[in-house]
Amino acid sequence: MLEDGSQANIIKGNLGIYKGAIYDNIIADILVKLGKKLYHFIWQCS
């Protein structure tokens, strides 16, 4: 969940700590629209 006012800050361009997540989602959206399959890496320690 986002804190109070986070959505307004993002809309105003104050991305703060959300910048990486927003760019990640934009790139993922572009790749999916190009027909590419997305993969998610999970690190498993043993």
* Domain locations along the chain: 1-46
Per-residue confidence (pLDDT) for residue 6, from 0 to 100: 80
Average pLDDT over residues 10-21: 83
Number of C-beta neighbours around residue 40 at 10 A: 4
pLDDT at 3 over 80: no
The residue among 19 and 27 whose pLDDT is bigger is 27
| Cα–Cα distance, 24 to 41 (Å, whole number) | 14
Exposed e or buried b for every residue in 9-39, given b needs 16+ CB within 10 A?
eeeeeeeeeeeeeeeeeeeeeeeeeeeeeee
pLDDT band at 1 (very low <50, low <70, confident <90, very high): low
pTM over 0.75: no
Average pLDDT over residues 5-34: 87
What DSSP element (H or E) covers 32?
helix 19-33
